[in-house]
Structure 1
Amino acid sequence: TVQVKDSNASTATKALSLTVYSALSITTSSLPTGTVSTAYSQTLAATGGLTPYTWSVASGSLPAGLTLSSAGVISGTPTTAGTSSFTVQVQDANAGIANKVLSLTIYAPLAVSTSSLPGGDVSSAYSQTLAATGGLPSYTWSVSSGSLPAGLTLASSTGVISGTPTKTGTSTFTVQVKDANASTATKSLSITVYSALSISTSSLSSGTVSTAYSQTLAATGGLTPYTWSIASGSLPAGLALSSGGVISGTPTTGGTYSFTVQVADANSMKSTKQLSLTITYAITASAGANGSISPSGTVTVSSGGSQAFTIKANTGYHVSNVLVDGASVGAVTTYTFSNVTGNHTISVTFSNTYSLTVTKAGTGGGTVTSSPSGISCGATCSAAFTSGTSVTLTGSANSNSFFAGWSGGGCSGTGTCKITMSANNAVTATFTQYITVTAPSSGVSWARGTTQTITWTYAGSPGSSVKIQLLQGGAVNSTIIPSTSIGSSGAGSYSWTIPSTLAAGSTYQISVTSTSNSNYTGISNGDFTLD
């Protein structure tokens, strides 16, 4: 009872009562998650204070699409995924207030994101992981209708379809995914199982060096298109395998090459096969008119192998020449290529004439002529004569040389050479220069003011003494000595002290001339230098 007294001491009393409530507090500690486009409703709770309560959002904001009623119900249909943090406030009938920070996560709608599954091959391991988006992980997978291909299973915890298919065909089924909020989503899918992928090419045709090659590999089973590659080993040099399965190019090296090819189908299934490819070499054989070569045409030979050829002339003719790779091997009637490591050619010509060839030798110069005419060597040192012709060769020396004799073709001595043409013949005519300067030789350098030795050889009868001169640019520069001994036993020498007054130069030569016959002259074989 309370009493009130005024200034006149008058009093009044009244009986009252006072109720004290427990402290107002929000007891909701967390909120369940929601999903975009799925209705959401959650009632907030509080204790203490005097009911009824009035709820509001004190700060922050609820996820888009949700509202908080004054009665404490968060409801609506979320429109955006994400986590929203906010402060809720409750006020009781006595105007007491309590706040709490809460958060609410909205997930994207649960969906199976795998749109299709690759096919598989019978007897080849298969593994494919299903995928989902949205919802609250973790996911649980199952087949809700239909069935997987025989040999395959779906792992509920990982979404992996795996196993080894045992039958061909297309299986259609529906997979279901469930998230931690028990939301579910389904998707109809199918898997086609193909017959086992295999390479059907069992062997490859051989190729030839320098000849274009093309061979297409073949496979069966699996899902086209196929992609081809070399799994191990290597193709012959010059060849390549395209992704379309064509081995092509131009081989450059012979031999047998082993390698493994691989084919992958559109489902990434793979198959391999070991193959070998032999590259041979080609020998092209040809014969001119009036004879033959056997075998003829293009003959293939394995690397390291051998091939023999037989050559035969028609009646009244003989083998004139055999060219192997463009070089003459003579008038042979058989030829064998051994240890073949490259392409070759062999060609044969036939004739009813024989060739006579003259070669000039020695230090001197001269000409050889024939009767009947044909050889004038000099200019023409080889000629053809009809079989049975008697040919006479005559050698004539130049003025500073003498004819030393014949060799070859059955000829000798210094007279004429007579040959009856029954085979190809070669004759050498030797001309010897009377005097030959041997030092200085071409390219030598001698220093002015030094003493150097001039040397020469001689043959025949050039006399007993010689004159030595210095030439420059082909003209006489000076006479070194007008007369000195020619020497003995075919050789002579002279010690020359080179005047320091001579001009340096690189076009000098030495001439040595018989004092009894000026035609008998020898000159250095090239320019030398005075420095």
Structure 2
Amino acid sequence: MPGNLNSNVVAVLWILLTIISIPSHAQPFESITGRVESFTRPADDGVSPLKPRRASISPSPHSISIGTLSNEKKSAETNVDSRPGTPHKIGFGREIPQLRNLTDTASQLKWQNTPQGGKIAAISITSPQATGIRMGILVRRMLTKATFRFYSQGSEVSYEIAGKEIMETIQRNLDAGDSSDAARTYWSPYVEGEEMTLEIELPLGISPDTLEIAIPSVSHFFFSILRAAGEKISKIGQAASCEIDVSCYSEWSPESKSTAKITFVDSGSSYLCSGTLLNDAASSGTPYFLSANHCITSQTIASTLQTFWFYRSAACNNGTLNSEFQTRTGGATLLYGSQTTDTSFMQLNKLPPAGALYAGWSPNTPELYAYVTSIHHPQGDLQKISFGRFQSFQDCTATDPFTDTYQCTFANKDNGKFLDVAYTSGITEGGSSGAGLFETINSAHYLIGQLRGGNPSCFGSGTDEYGRFDIAYSDRLHQWLNAGPTFLLSVSKLNNGNGTVISSPDGINCGTRCNAPFTRGTNVTLTATPASGFIFSGWSGACSGTSATCSVAMNTPQSVTATFSPVATPGTVVEYYNPDLDHYFIAADPGEQAFVDSGAVGRWQRTGVRFASGGNVPVCRFYGSVSPGPNSHFYTASADECTQLKQLQATTPATQKRWNFESLDFLTMMPMNNTCPADTAPIYRAYNNGFSKNIDSNHRITSDQAAIQEVVARGWINEGIVMCAPQ
């Protein structure tokens, strides 16, 4: 039945966050949201490690073949683990018996003189049937002036790495607290094919005796991750047929240019994931990079990172790799890692290629049911794009940290660390892990999370979980992305006496102290307390919901509105039943009760069940519609449930079934752990399961437990204690 809207006098509290000082270079901030825009920085192409090969001075290498793999070994190693949330394996470690220690390796290096008076030696390693190789070099002593070159014998270019870079890489691992041989192992760039040559050049006056290295292993790739530009992609990746070519969506080209395919080595095995280059508040061009923690779990692994940029098709669905493709080596410095949100936040040790874009991001909690987009490299394939909708918050916990398995349960924005996404087109696969999730706000794209994993399929089933960027940002990322000046928080009230707002950290207590400075990046929690005769009924602006607290990121001027409403007069809530509809209904307003009793809205009959209203929690009242429905009312005292239904109303057309907010109908109290406080009576709720039965949904809300048991016996669902009424 239609509702009767109470005429509430609304007191509005405006909270204005004004800036004390902000440097001119921080203009990417938007004045209302605190989001950071994307940014393109022309990087120095000179950072590329690929150099023309100086074949004229390259000595004939000493050649070593590891030997052919047995079928059993190959089958065991190439049986790719496809569990959700695991990095996509593309290679495995193979020992090199001839080079297992310092003495063996020194004996295999045949040094010759260079025209400049230095020394040079080369060694070729073949791992039969490999599609590519990365060489692991265990370093005990290294000269910074040494030069290492990695190439295949038929190549015209080589990766040229200075000894100084290798030593800096190892020192980062040691500084992070890893003293194992893994930390002292430098992993070479990826070279296509089953053979790789290592060439070491020492300058004049440096003896080979000062070099102490071993080459105990290689990472043997069984999956090719590179193809030449213009080559057909029939053998690049094995992405599912429902994947969508990112090149078909020009509006997402900037974010495509911020997304990279990444490879890394962990215990000799190689893996594929995805990641995103992020802008900072100053658009400084610092190459901050975001991926998943289940991909990059430590500094030692981050040091093996190799990135692949613009790895996408030349044109929409044309099946060839574009000519802009480039790779960068050098690894990354792991700045922040968290299993809680599956976040790995790094700074790349080499700048990305010219034309790479630094993606924008939002520190704000995304709205439920927002449309979202992910850009990624499924199965290591050319870049793809997936579209979907953020449908719930999730709380995900590891079930076995050794196998990366995890499970998730429904949560709310306060305790859910992940975003659950259902796709409307495209999906993700192995290799997509770590990919950025973007929300479109005012035609701009902002990163809001990175991929943990899930179980989507081309058949439309399954969802993915993305770690929440806003939580990682609030925890630590703001230190790098948003370091800067102090902002002033100013509070003003339009109607004094209706309530107060205080802040945490301390500073605001308005009432009396309505201005206070906070450092940029601080998350200020505002708490609204109503005055006598009023209730707090909700936030709007930069905060939302009816919880008494909200969080404001002090990154840019913000505005928040706190609404206080007069307390409804305590009274009695009366239950009705309509035998024609088989529906139950409750009414708290005496005028509405008289109107229902008159029969003007149908055959509604009092059941004799009633309970008192009163307390400090407002009950949200919703109504569907006569058409398209549901022709029923719904009541909830849960602030999160109320907010979610309001958000769903805002995103669902009126031509579709939805709940429409009517009013804050009466006051009650909330149970704790399904138990009501002393001197209160439990109020139960049952649901007729109308959605599954394809009938109008209806709920029975009553203080009579026997009444609940009666409808449950008829197939209704017992939803337990939802309110507590004063006795």
- Larger proportion of helix: 2
Shorter-chain TM-score bucket reads under 0.3
Larger Rg: 1
Relative to the length of structure 2, the TM-score reads 0.15
- Larger proportion of strand: 1
Relative to the length of structure 1, the TM-score reads 0.19
Bigger relative CO (Cα 8 Å, ≥ 6 apart): 2
